Amino acid sequence: MIANISKKMILVICVACLLFLTGCSKLTPDNYDQLKIGMNYDDVVSILGNADECDGAIGVKNCVGGDEKKHIKISFAGDKVMVFFGSGLK
C-alpha cells in the first residue's frame, strides 16, 4: 500500500514539473518583441535563456531555441544580433 502511494506521489510530482516547465517557456511574443538588431549575445540570453542549439563558423553563430512548432532562430555576427526570426509564438 505504501509503495502504491509513493508511485502515485512520484507521478503527480513528475506531471506537475512538466506542466511547470512548459508554462515557463521564455519563447513568448513579448520576449520576441524585446529582441533588437545589434543586441549582444548576453542580453539575448537574459531575455530568452540559453539556446537549445548553436553552431557557427567564421565569426557567425546561429542559435535556435524551441522546437519545430514554436521557435526563435537568431544569427549573431561576432557577439551582435544580425537577424532573427520567430515562428509559432502566438
**Mind listing the pLDDT tens digit for each residue in 14-49?**
444 444 444 458 999 999 999 999 999 999 999 999
Domain boundaries, the chain: 27-87
CA separation for the pair 29, 82 (Å, rounded): 19
Q: Which CATH number fits domain 27-87: 3.30.1450.10, 3.90.550.10, 1.10.3720.10, 3.40.50.11540?
A: 3.30.1450.10
End-to-end CA distance of the chain: 45
Grid cell listed for 57: 563558423
Instruction: Note whether 81 and 35 are within 8 A (CB).
Output: yes
SS (H, E, C) 25-64: CCCCHHHHHHCCCCCEHHHHHHHHCCCCEEEEECCEEEEE
Flag whether the pTM goes above 0.75. no
Residue 51: predicted pLDDT? 93
Grid coordinates representing 24 are 515557463
